[in-house]
Amino acid sequence: MPWKKRINDALSKTTGYQLERATPRPTARAAGGRRRRKLRRADRLVRAPVFVMCTLRSGSTLLRVLLNSHSEIHAPHELHLRYISVNLDKKWSERSMKEMGLDEEGLRYLLWDRLLERELTASRRSIIVDKTPNNVFIPEKLRECWPDSRFIFLLRHPAAIAQSRKDWFKGKGHYDEEQNHDLIRRYCEALEEARQRYDGITIRYEDLTEDPAAVTREICEFLGIDWEPSMLEYGEFDHGRYKSGLGDWSDNIKSGEVKKAKPPPPETPEPLRPIAMKWGYLTEDAPAARVS
């Protein structure tokens, strides 16, 4: 009503109060129909984190330590943000947070950002990179949390990924070939979906091991920083512990040297053929491997 508006305007100028709360503007929608969260200045301490979107056993630890050897990049061990959440256990906390424009997801994002900011500040560098493989299942959440986040898509021959994981299982208990292929397929398909939906840079593990200087130069250009030769000497730097659950811990990565990728198996398992063809690793007439 006009009279309420006039009184509100007058009260606001003199006391800072209003008779009625202003009607909130509709929240803008992000790509895919998701509502874009309205961020306050202090909501994000890290503006443009970098995420390596990859599968299991794809060479992401090698990429991490190469990047972490740059003076401006901090690439810690896998952070597993997907499994870090916040609970509001009582209705009072829900009401309190709602008054501040927050819900469980909003609080979760604040926690994610604070964790990255803590790591980045301690490193005294300017760019943080997380290479956790299961991030391929939450790219929309990463972009919702950090609208300016950047993605590096790391590909590897799917058959080589499956073989690497099979080799990893030796001496560690029961191995199921069908389950292994299905798991790798799901990771690869999620990675490809993110690659098609979001902008970023695509690199291949095989190219990284063949010419690490060229590939890391390309990444540095994407990140807007100068390339440093020290990146190729990752063994000269401390990258934290190599430990199960935090990345690769094999003798290969501990050697401190970039070793060329092993050739893929001569036959590609049937469940992995479509994604292998899509990534250009396979032609339709290439032989398929049977599940043993």
Report the 3 state secondary structure along 271-283.
HHHHHHHHCCCCC
Q: Render pLDDT for 217-232 as a digit per residue (tens, 0 to 9).
A: 999 999 999 999 999 9
Asked which of 134-138, 146-150, 245-249 is least confident by mean pLDDT, the reply is: 245-249
Mean pLDDT, rounded, of the chain = 83
Q: Which of 107, 100, 177 is nearest to 145 (CA)?
A: 107
What mean pLDDT comes out for the span 75-104? 83
The reported pLDDT for the residue numbered 31 is 46
What mean pLDDT comes out for the span 174-197? 95
Write the CB contacts of 196 (distance below 8 Å, at least 6 apart in sequence).
none
Q: Which residues pair with 151 in a beta bridge?
A: 51
| Whether residue 155 has pLDDT greater than 90 | yes
What's this model's pTM, rounded to 2 decimal places?
Answer: 0.81
Question: Beta-strand (E) ranges in the chain?
Answer: 50-53, 73-74, 127-130, 150-155, 201-204, 268-269, 288-289
Distance set, CA 150 to CA 5, 96, 142, 198, 262 (Å):
44, 33, 10, 9, 29
What mean pLDDT comes out for the span 72-76? 97
Domains of the chain: 49-73+133-289 (3.40.50.300)
More confident residue, 17 or 159: 159
Distance set, CA 17 to CA 89, 116, 126, 280 (Å):
33, 38, 42, 63
The reported pLDDT for the residue numbered 245 is 59
More confident residue, 236 or 181: 181
The reported pLDDT for the residue numbered 202 is 98
Q: Render pLDDT for 28-55 as a digit per residue (tens, 0 to 9).
A: 344 444 556 678 778 899 999 999 999 9
The reported pLDDT for the residue numbered 251 is 58
| Whether residue 112 has pLDDT greater than 90 | yes
pLDDT bracket for residue 215 (50, 70, 90)? very high
| Whether residue 154 has pLDDT greater than 90 | yes
What mean pLDDT comes out for the span 161-174? 83
